[in-house]
Structure formats: C-alpha cells, structure tokens
Amino acid sequence: MSIILLCIKRWVLTLPQHLLKNVIKNLNRILRFKWLEFIKFFYKYLDEYDESKFLEKWNQLKIMFPLSSKYLIKIDKNLTQ
C-alpha cells in the first residue's frame, strides 16, 4: 500500500470528531443534494487497496462531483506536505 493511499485512509479513519464534522459540513454545504451519493462513493473507494486503482477512483470522484474537487485537492495537498 502506498504512502498516499495509507495517509488518505488514515486521515479519514482517525479524523478527530470535530474535524470530521467540519469536512461533512463543508462538503454537505457544497454538494447539497448530491452529498449522499458522494459519501457512498467516497467510502466505497476507501476500501480499494490497490494504489493505482485507488488514485484512479479518487480522481474519478473529483470528476463525478466537480463541486467537491477544490476541497479534495486541498486534502491532497495537505497530505503530501
């Protein structure tokens, strides 16, 4: 498992409750009625263990939900720092 994949999964699974609420609040506000669809795919993609497939799906998520892409890119940048 790559470091990027591991970091993203660890970030989601160990996110402190108040930060998780912040992510939910921000993305829910941005996505509105597409929130449930987004979160379904988001957690489904987190189950992917193959790095290349995960990254492909992670990028696909940004395409499927373009309103979330700015926020997801911000997550990418924070994880690679």
Residues of the domain holding 69: 3-80
Whole-angstrom Cα distance, residue 45 to residue 56?
Answer: 10
Asked whether the whole model's pTM tops 0.75, one would answer no
Give the residue ranges of DSSP H helices in 1-81.
3-13, 17-31, 35-46, 51-64, 66-80
Burial class (CB in 10 A: 0-12, 13-18, 19+), 13: exposed
Q: How many domains does the chain have?
A: 1
| Cα dist from 24 to 15, 30, 39, whole Å | 12, 10, 9
Q: Tell me the residue type at 56.
A: E
* Stretch 41-56: mean pLDDT: 81
Q: What is the mean pLDDT of residues 9-38?
A: 74
Lowest-pLDDT choice from 20-24, 26-30, 37-41, 56-60: 20-24
